[in-house]
Structure formats: C-alpha cells, structure tokens
Amino acid sequence: MKQLLTGNEAAAEAAILAGCRYYYGYPITPQNELINYMSVRMPQVGGTFIQAESEIAAISMVHGSAAAGGRSMTSSSSPGISLKQEGISYLAGSELPCVIINIQRGGPGLGDISASQADYFQAVKGGGHGDYHTIVLAPSSVQEMADLVYDAFDMSDNYRNPVMILGDAQIGQLMEPVEFYKKQKNNLPAKNWSLTGAQGRKRNIIKSFYPVKGELEEFNAHLQKKYKMIEEHEIRYEAINIHEADIILVAYGTSARICKEVVKKSQQFKFKVGMVRPITLWPFPKEIIRRISEKVQCILTVEMSAGQMVEDVRLAVESRCPVHFYGRTGGGVPTSLEVIRKIVEIVPDNKVANTLLKLAEVK
Amino acid sequence: MTEKIILAGFGGQGMMLLGKLLAQAAMVSGKFVTYFPSYGTEVRGGTAVYHLIISSEEIFSPLIEEADTLIVMNQPSYQKFKGILKADGLLVLNSSLIKLKNHSDVRIQKVPATEIANKLGNVLVSNIVMLGAYLITKKLFSANQILDQLKIILKGKRGDLFAINKQALESGIQAI
C-alpha cells in the first residue's frame, strides 16, 4: 500500500522494516521528522530510541550497539554530521556496520536550513581522519530514500563498513507516495565478530588501535582490499539517453531531478542531451563516465555546491572532453531553465544554441 | 494533465491538511504527486506555504515557479504569492480576510471561508470550506474522494470531527 510520507519519515520506516532496532539522534532541522518518527515507532517495535545529549554521544552509541551486533543508525544534518566525524572514523577503523543519514543543509558553519549538496567532499573523501571510506548512497526521491536505506543496512553488514545516505533538505521534507516492499537479504554473513558475551568461545575484540609496529599497515592493507572489492561490486548509477548524446549531464539527488527535466525537454530537438545520475557517490561510477567522455562533445556537472562532485567527474574523464560546471550554493536550487542556459553558453555551435534557447522557453 | 497549486495562509489555518487531502486523493487515484512544505525559520503570524503538484506524468522539481492555482487564506499570503500565479490561473481566496485590489486576467473565486466556518460553529474548518470551493471549480476529485481521505486522516482522533468537516466541504461547494 502506498503512503504519502516525507523523505525523513520514509527513511525512518525503512530502517525499522530493515530490522534497525537501535537509533540515536540529536535534533536538527531539516531532519527532525526522522528523529520524531523514530521516537514514536522504536518503542512500538521493542527497539531502542535515545535522544542523545549531543551528536558525538549519538554516534558513539551507534558504535556500542553496532559492536554488539545490532542494526544501528543515527541521522543529522550538515553541522551535526561534522560533529560525528570522529565517531565515523572510529566506526570505519573498527569495521562496524551502521547507517548514518545526512540531510544536508547550507554551509559552511551554521549556514541555513535549506537544501544543499555541499557536504559531498566530506561524505566521499573521508571527513574524519585516516585512510577510510564510507559507502555513500544518494537518493533522489522519497521512494528511493526508502529503498536505499534498506540496501544500506545490507551493504554495511555485508562489508562491515559504515554506510552514509546523503540526502538534502528537499528530499527530507518532500512528501511523495512511497511503498515499502524490500526484504532483508538472507545470505548476509553471520556476525560472529560481535561482542555478545564470550562464554564458551574465544573472545572477540573490536578496536581501531594498532600500536605494534607493522600491525596498522597490515590492517590498512586489509581495508584497502575491502574498498577495492566494494568498488568492483557496488557501483550504481542511472543512465538516461547516453547513446548518441552530444552532451551529458552528471548530477545526483535533488539536482538530478532538475537535470532529468532538461533531458525530457530536449527530446524534441536535434541536439541530444543525456545524463548520468550517480546513486553511489562512493564508490563513484567513474567507468561509465570515462566511456561516455570518449563519445560526447562535453559533460556538464550540476550540483547544489560550488563544485565538488565535478572533481570526481574530471578525474574519471582525464581530459578526454571538456567538463563544465553549474552550481548554486547556500540554499539555491537550480532550475531547468538555468541548466539549459548554461548548456547554451558552453555549446560552441550557434545553430544549436538557438534551438536550445527556443527549448528554454518551453514551459 | 498537470496541476500546480500553491497553498498559503497563517500557520494554523490548516493549509497543510488541505494539501494533504488533495495529495492523498491524487495518490490513491494513481497520479504522480509531490507535496513540499515550507519549513523556514518562520515567525508567529507569518505565512506557511506549500507546493503541491499533481500530474499524470513523472514530476521532476517539486518546487513551483509558476502556479496554475493559488489558494490563499489571508492578506499577507496573497501579497506574498500573487506574483507566482500564471496569467490565466485560478485564484481561490478567503474573502473574509483578504481585500482584493484588481488582479486582472486570472479567474477568481471569492469564498468567505472564515465567516462560513464560524457559522458552522468551528473556525478551524475554514480550510475545508476553501477545499470545497476549489473542488467544485477545478473538478479534479469528487467530494467523496476527499471524504475518504479525511476519514483516514481523522482515524483515532477524538470527537465528531468528520461531521463538521463534511459540512464545511459541502458549504464550500455551495458557496460557488
């Protein structure tokens, strides 16, 4: 049955249906519907809900129940996610599965409470200290939010690795019909590493501290091997009209919805616009972008930031074609008209530019 | 078919519920729908605004740049959002609280919603009076489709809220 829910509520319900029974949070706009929903639902399913005294406390509580083998989650928005970075690094270093939701708002600093995609670097390049990665998933609708939260728990258990859902204020606040139909995978590895009481077995140790010379390097080699495996198996993206496209748009989340509209509007014209929407931001879908870059005139990356994911696009393209950027910051959401104007600006052919301008006027 | 509606009023005038009833009716009738509330750093007495899009096709941006319909409950909301209505759009306004200077071209439905709701005995149902007026004008959904959703939303709530809301909806329909 379909329900009309906000992205925040859909994320919370999906987590509960995925078997999450430990949630710790600290209020911050624009993700308060999530923590609010959890405060009602967790007691109903016999789970644990704690409104922690701070974001740092919340992420540390995640560390505790994840170490004991429970499906654990926390959520926040940009400034709160910054506070959690130490804990995230420890979770990655201790190889603990968990899900962290970031409903991004404007920054830097306290910023504002409107939608933003300016935490991309923080999410995919580490954020905390040390050579680590979280798997980063980017939903662009309320339904996809629910689906990805499900998958996030399975992926985190499968790889013993934290997974971050990178949403934004618009996805969090937006209400859309959503259906909960996914089921937990049943071929996940047993959590025989977890701290459940050592009676009758060898004790388990969860740690991220390797003071003996050589041990830490060995552990890092193990992590890197795991990350390589994740890169080989977990890359996800949506590709639209990529064959025969003259220009490719690359965008995720809320920006991708706007780019989809541009692709749709352009279908009636000769100049072909296609798009790639990364669903996993780490691992980044670099292979498809590399392949595309050999065929198209240019690529345009659209973000609600001053230009962050565009760096990963450029790394994938390796100068095979020009990579342009259009972004809005501080709560600005690009419109399809703005994106079309940018395309007009970067397309060298005047004839094409003229048809595109006509296209821009199509409502 | 695509209908882009901006709903605005004082916080507490029930725009959220009005939009939710339409959005849920759209959802169960198999349409695409996005419903995006304002959640700004609002002040008491400020305006609450909601972007509602109902379509037979996939909806991309949930933000409305040009509205087909503007439903407004009070003067500040009208002043703030009148510019977003397209030239031949529909304006449904609460004439109990809004004094209209000439707004050319657009189709206008004046509904004394606060007055009607007061007569019914509960000013809180003025939003549903407005909904009735909108329904009979645009005919996107029947009154029964809305009442079905109202039943679902009111489930578990105290008192006979359904009866007075039904009356309010009918009064709104008759006001046009």
Tell me the chain B residues in contact with residue A176 when contact means C-beta distances shorter than 8 Å: 33-35
Most B-contacting residue of A4, A110, A171 (CB-CB within 10 A), to test interface: A4
Res A186: pLDDT: 73
Beta-bridge partners for A166: A102
> Is the pLDDT score of B151 beyond 90?
yes
Task: Tell me if chain B has a CB within 8 Å of the CB of A174.
Answer: yes
Asked if B23's CB is within 8 angstroms of A4's CB, the reply is: yes
A280 CB within 8 Å of a chain B CB: no
State pTM to two decimals. Answer: 0.95
CATH 3.40.50.920 domain residues, chain A = 238-361
Q: What is the pLDDT of residue A78?
A: 98
- B73: closest CA among B16, B2, B145, B23? B16
Chain B residues with CB under 8 Å of A169 CB are 39
State the average pLDDT for chain A.
94
- What is the domain range of residue B14? 2-174
| CATH code for the structural domain at A238-361 | 3.40.50.920
Contact B81, A351 (CB under 8 A): no
A333 lies within 8 A of chain B by CB: yes
Q: Which of A49-53, A260-264, A341-345, B39-43 is predicted with the least confidence, judged by mean pLDDT?
A: B39-43
* Domain A3-233 of CATH type 3.40.50.1100: no
- Residue A210: count of CB within 10 angstroms of its CB: 14
| CATH 3.40.50.970 residue ranges for chain A | 3-233
Residues A28-80: tens digit of each pLDDT: 999 999 999 999 999 999 999 999 999 999 999 999 999 999 999 999 999 99
Q: What is the mean pLDDT of residues A79-100?
A: 98
Whether the CB-CB separation of A323 and A136 falls below 8 Å is answered with no
Residues of B at the A interface (Cβ-Cβ below 8 Å)? 20, 23-24, 27-28, 33-37, 39-41, 58, 60-63, 65-66
Domain count, chain B: 1
Per-residue DSSP letter, B101:
P
| Residue B120 to chain A, least CA–CA distance (Å) | 30
A·B CB contacts under 8 A: 53
Q: Which of A206-215, B36-45, B65-74, B141-150 has the lowest mean pLDDT?
A: B36-45
Closest partner residue to A335 among B24, B27, B65, by Cβ?
B65
Query: Which ipTM was obtained for this model?
Result: 0.94
Share of chain A above pLDDT 70, in %: 95
The yes-or-no verdict on residue A363 having pLDDT over 60 is no
Q: Report the CATH number at residue B156.
A: 3.40.920.10
Mean pLDDT is lowest, of A303-307, A326-330, B104-108, B172-176, for B104-108
Residue A141 main-chain phi, psi, to 5 deg: -150, 170
With CA atoms as reference, report the closest residue to A39 among A19, A60, A25: A25
What number is the average pLDDT over the span B127-144?
97
Query: What residues of A are in contact with residue B58 (Cβ under 8 Å)?
Result: 260
pLDDT at A347: 80
Residue of B nearest to A140 (CA): B60
Using H for helix, E for strand and C for coil, what is the string for A109-160? CCCCCCECCCCHHHHHCCCCCCCCCCEEECCCCHHHHHHHHHHHHHHHHHHC
pLDDT-derived band at A362, boundaries 50, 70, 90: low
* Interacting residues of B121 by C-beta distance below 8 A, sequence separation 6+: B164
**pLDDT, position A344:** 85
Tokens of B38: 């304002």
Q: Given this model, what pLDDT does residue A20 score?
A: 97
